[in-house]
Amino acid sequence: MTTPMFEATVSEGVLRLRRPGTRWLSTGWDGGRSRAATAYNVTVPKGFARTDLAAYRDERLARAGFADGEDGRGTEGLAADRDGPPTLFTGVSMEHARGARLGPVVAYATVGLSNPAMLPIEPTGADDSEGSTPEAAGSPVDPPGTVNLIVGATRRLGPGAAANLVAVAAEAKTATLLAAAGVPGTTSDAVVVADDPDGEPAEFSGSATAVGGAARACVRDAVRASLRSRYPDGDVPGPAADAEHGVVTDDRAEVFDP
């Protein structure tokens, strides 16, 4: 029987993914590179306004029974300015978390679309090199939605392959959401990728590679499954929905030859 990439456990609104010795690269709060046994996806309540996220994370892990001394981040030559395991936050209940596996890759997704981030191909706004997209976009505490992804590979990814896998996962998420819901993502989406430092080496993770191709399929299927769970009647918020927390990047940038 194949050993799972992660041991997944949900408790008190927290999804714990556990695999000792895993290397992580996170785009979320307190992100970057690290090595730890676990990563977390945490549901926050409506109206959540805490800014002391490390303390809040620790409170939630303790409540969920996950404060077992095995979750601290090790650096082992990686960035040393972070404290605690990789953690994502979302307004989506963990009852809607879904996973998908193919070959050397597994992906877990939670999908909420109440704060869509639209990008018109033909913007109507004036040229503005400074832009006017709200600075709050991407805040881990404000929006109630969020599409969170954790993608793990049983291969040992090169530094470039790990970084590129973030792009591969984000691209797959965007393609899936555009087809299924007419939106490319939300204002606060985050991706965590993971690999096995003792696994078979993989220097590349593009769409034509075993890792990249599997990641695309896993992200697509996990996102679709979470979307169906979160919106079982198919009434997904679309680009025309009255989304209080959404944004539209409608400015035009200055274009010039290098």
Residue tagged 């303390």 (tokens): 55
Question: What pLDDT is recorded for position 180?
Answer: 94
Q: List the single range of 59-63, 176-180, 241-245 with lowest mean pLDDT.
A: 241-245
Average pLDDT, the chain: 86
- Position 203 scores a pLDDT of 97
d(CA 183, CA 248): 11
User: What is the pTM (predicted TM-score) of this model?
Assistant: 0.88
d(CA 171, CA 182): 15
Q: Which two tokens stand for residue 136?
A: 């709050």
Q: What whole-number distance in Å separates Cα of residue 206 and Cα of residue 84? A: 30
What is the model's pLDDT at position 77? 41
DSSP H stretches of helix in the chain: 53-64, 159-181, 210-230
Give all strands (DSSP E) within 94-154, no chain letters. 98-102, 105-112, 117-118, 146-153
Q: Which residue has the higher pLDDT, 135 or 232?
A: 232
Residue 151 is encoded by which pair of tokens? 């993608």
**pLDDT above 80 (res 13):** yes
Q: Which of 87, 106, 119 is nearest to 248 (CA)?
A: 119
pLDDT of residue 99: 97
